[in-house]
């Protein structure tokens, strides 16, 4: 447990997130307590017109570590970075280590690099800026620049102003994994009742299509949950609804996350093909059976191969696979074996996640039960996955981060040339409006000329979503009407 004692709350979140990066999984208290590991105190001294000296102090028993520096509260961006750099230096000395991403705690580090490239900065200037401002490592800066340059090229044919993307959320899964906190509900509990969800979803889809008339739909993404948790009949209904409701004539990418191998059948895959789905995911997470059993995946290693080969046999030519590095009790050799198995299957793209344990995940909520599990993620593991991806002919094309990531690393998407997922880039870089429908989804409206983004969220609970669907529609309409009217 770590104590955070601040005279003002202006930068509490920034301080807490950096502490979480150094100490993932730790809890925090905001008052003086004797049983904390250490405390961080912060206060603005000699304040005059928002400027002054900010003092940081780390209290660890009888030990004290101080850092003071001039700040200007009128410049929130620079003040935040100064405070984070000061705290980073203290924590780095205490832990005797540096973080791969330095003081960066946001989930979109490539967005910073992308912005600088668009402003005309060269690579050397960007490198210096990232190193001095955020203490980011050489390797992560180089990776960010490579990905940002590739993203710019991939998005060159996308219209930010006139185009938009559609996200459809299916909040059901066969089971809930040990590490997961996404909005998902066991499909078994909704047996015979999924029609209620579809009816509410169809209302939202209809209204969204009406509000987006005049704009060009460019990409569609079905996520969740696991969309293929639905029956083939339900998939048929929802795919037909999208076809009959939206103009799909300009859609260049149509993704459905098949995700869990235990949710995939020949009939479901054929249904997806019949409706023009261009990209699917089949996600093993690991190819170690003992880990699959531990984390609650109800599929076998052989089932992954079987369903992957079935998809190829039916004609899918753009298949993604998701892996997680840092799963409980997995070693470097386990990761190597997984990568060998994936290499042999030869998917078209690969997303490598670093395990992030969210607060609502069972692995975090039931700590006592799982306290004996060893969770390790190292630079060597991350480098190995990158090396295998490149050996498979893939290039990194998008990147994002999450809180409480094992090893403080990142999630990276790799793809063969021509197989990158444009939607994945758009959701991370926030360049285009994404209209989202379904429980737990977030609509993001981009106003490029104003460099502004606004969002509206749907409730996560499926029962609430169904009973409050009109409220969800009206909330979203207030935002979508702004782009229709051109304001």
Sheet holding 395-400, edge to edge: 395-400, 411-415, 349-354, 319-325, 279-282, 253-259, 216-224, 163-170, 433-437, 442-447, 452-457
Q: Pick the residue with more confidence: 71 or 357?
A: 71
Q: Is the pLDDT of residue 221 over 90?
A: yes
User: What is residue 27's predicted lDDT score, i.e. its pLDDT?
Assistant: 84
Structural contact between residues 287 and 294, judged by C-beta atoms closer than 8 angstroms: no
Name the β-bridge partners of 456.
443
- pLDDT number for residue 35: 82
> What pLDDT does 405 receive?
66
List, for residues 265-276, the tens digit of each pLDDT value: 999 999 999 999
Nearest alpha carbon to residue 396 among 350, 333, 329: 350
Does residue 183 or residue 56 have the better pLDDT?
56
Write out pLDDT tens, residues 335-392. 999 999 999 999 999 999 988 654 444 444 344 444 555 566 688 999 999 999 999 9
Task: Write the pLDDT tens digit of every residue in 249-265.
Answer: 999 999 999 988 999 99
Q: What phi and psi values does residue 277 have, to the nearest 5 degrees?
A: -65, 130
Mean residue pLDDT across the chain: 89
How many CB atoms within 10 Å of residue 9?
10
pLDDT tens digits for range 233-243? 999 999 999 99
* Span 457-468, average pLDDT: 95
Instruction: Specify the higher pLDDT residue, 236 or 45.
Output: 236
Residue 69 pLDDT greater than 50, yes or no? yes
Token code pair at residue 405? 């990531």
Say if CB 60 and CB 94 are below 8 A apart.
Answer: yes
Mean pLDDT of 64-88: 91
Lowest-confidence segment of 14-18, 414-418, 448-452 by average pLDDT: 448-452
pTM above 0.75, yes or no: yes
Structure confidence by residue, pLDDT tens digits, 160-208? 989 999 999 999 887 665 555 555 677 778 888 999 999 999 999 999 9
Nearest to 446, CA basis, from 467, 460, 426, 432: 432
Structure tokens at 42: 């912060």
Residue 295's pLDDT is: 80
- Whole-angstrom Cα distance, residue 4 to residue 128? 32
Average pLDDT over residues 220-224: 95
CB 237 within 8 A of CB 281: no
Neighbours of 98 (CB within 10 A): 14
pLDDT at 296 over 50: yes
């Amino acid at each position: 447990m770590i104590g955070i004692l601040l005279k003002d709350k202006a930068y509490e979140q920034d301080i807490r997130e950096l502490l979480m990066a150094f100490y993932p999984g730790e809890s925090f208290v905001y008052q003086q307590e004797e049983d904390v590991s250490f405390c961080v105190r912060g206060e603005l001294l000699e304040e005059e017109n928002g400027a002054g000296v900010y003092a940081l102090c780390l209290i660890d028993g009888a030990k004290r570590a101080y850092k003071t520096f001039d700040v200007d509260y009128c410049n929130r961006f620079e003040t935040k970075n100064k405070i984070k750099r000061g705290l980073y230096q203290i924590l780095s000395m205490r832990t005797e280590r540096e973080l791969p991403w330095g003081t960066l705690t946001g989930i979109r580090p490539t967005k910073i690099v992308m912005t600088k490239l668009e402003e005309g900065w060269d690579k050397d200037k960007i490198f210096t800026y990232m190193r001095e401002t955020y203490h980011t490592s050489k390797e992560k800066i180089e990776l960010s620049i490579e990905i940002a340059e590739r993203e710019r090229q991939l998005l060159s044919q996308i219209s930010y102003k006139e185009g938009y993307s559609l996200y459809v959320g299916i909040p059901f899964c066969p089971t809930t994994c040990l590490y997961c906190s996404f909005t998902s509900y066991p499909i078994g509990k909704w047996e015979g009742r999924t029609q209620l969800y579809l009816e509410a979803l169809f209302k939202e889809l209809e209204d969204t299509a009406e509000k987006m008339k005049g704009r060009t739909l460019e990409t569609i993404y079905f996520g969740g949950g696991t969309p293929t948790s639905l029956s083939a009949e339900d998939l048929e209904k929802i795919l037909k609804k999208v076809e009959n409701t939206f103009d799909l004539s300009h859609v260049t990418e149509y993704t459905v996350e098949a995700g869990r191998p235990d949710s995939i059948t020949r009939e479901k895959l054929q249904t997806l093909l019949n409706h023009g789905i261009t990209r699917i995911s089949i996600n093993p997470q690991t190819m170690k059976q003992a880990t699959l059993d531990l984390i609650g995946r109800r599929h076998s290693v052989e089932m992954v191969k079987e369903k992957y080969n079935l998809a190829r046999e039916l004609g899918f030519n753009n298949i993604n696979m998701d892996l997680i590095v840092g799963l409980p009790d997995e070693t470097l050799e386990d990761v190597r074996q997984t990568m060998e198995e994936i290499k042999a299957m030869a998917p078209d793209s690969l997303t490598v996640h670093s395990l992030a344990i969210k607060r609502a995940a069972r692995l975090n909520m039931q700590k006592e039960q799982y306290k004996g599990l060893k969770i390790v993620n190292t630079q060597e593991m991350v480098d190995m996955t990158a090396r295998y991806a490149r050996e498979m002919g893939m290039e990194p094309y998008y990147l994002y981060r999450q809180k409480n990531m094992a090893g403080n690393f990142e999630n990276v998407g790799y793809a063969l040339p021509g197989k990158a997922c444009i939607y994945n880039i758009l959701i991370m870089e926030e360049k285009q409006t994404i209209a989202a429908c379904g429980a737990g989804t977030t609509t993001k409206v981009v106003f490029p000329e104003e460099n502004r983004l606004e969002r509206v969220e749907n409730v996560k609970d499926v029962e609430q979503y169904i009973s409050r669907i009109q409220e969800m529609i009206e909330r979203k309409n207030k935002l979508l009407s702004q782009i229709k009217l051109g304001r």
